[in-house]
Amino acid sequence: MKKLSFLLVFLFAAMTATQAQHVFNKGDLAFNAGIGIPHSYGIIPTINFSGEFGAIPTGDVGLVSFGGLAEFQLGQYNDIYYVTKTFPRFFVGARAAWHVHAFESDVFDAYGGVGFGIGISGKSDYYGSSVEPDIFVGGRWMFAENMGLFAELGYSGFSSVKFGLTFGL
């Protein structure tokens, strides 16, 4: 009887102490490195890097993270003589995302978020910077413990679509 009681107490404690497994949890760090399809100034892909820290749990439904995004593009445009010109563009910004924990998965992570940043352009007839929005939805598929693939859609930095590798710490 004592063994059965001990076993029942142990199982109950294990079930209540065990939390659902998710790809991204409070205290986690994640980094993305990828390329993107630009939403303006040519077809040359963007190169992007982003990182985030899992900060605020929102109960059983999710987690809020904070981080940043850096992006580079060689933009293209045609001048008044229809000559194609290439120029560098940089984006640096802050972002926040909400990771959906409504389903249990240790390989998939779905998220959406907002942010803003500064876009810096080196266009020959326009040197300057502008505030740019960062609105996105995305997901990760972890094919190894700390490595996977990511994809994002939205109006984010200079890209409409981003994809590449993701790394978790």
Which of these, 26, 20, 66, 28, lies nearest to 146 by C-alpha position?
28
* Whole-Å CA distances, 111 to 92, 137, 164: 20, 6, 16
Given a cut of 50, whether residue 9 has pLDDT beyond it is: no
pLDDT of residue 42: 76
pTM across the whole model: 0.79
61 neighbors 83 (Cβ within 8 angstroms): no
Classify residue 50 by burial, with Cβ atoms within 10 Å: 0-12, 13-18, 19+. buried
Tokens of 1: 């009887």
Domains and CATH numbers, the chain: 2-168 (2.40.160.20)
Instruction: Kindly report the backbone phi and psi dihedral angles of residue 157, in degrees, each rounded to the nearest multiple of 5, phi listed first.
Output: 60, -120
Which of these, 54, 50, 74, lies nearest to 62 by C-alpha position?
54
Tens digit of each residue's pLDDT (9 = 90 or more) over 80-101: 888 888 888 899 999 999 999 8
Tens digit of each residue's pLDDT (9 = 90 or more) over 102-159: 888 889 999 999 999 999 987 766 667 889 899 999 999 999 989 999 999 999 888 9
pLDDT of residue 130: 85
H or E stretch covering 3 = helix 2-17
pLDDT > 90 fraction of the chain, expressed in percent and rounded: 51
Tens digit of each residue's pLDDT (9 = 90 or more) over 42-57: 778 999 999 999 999 9
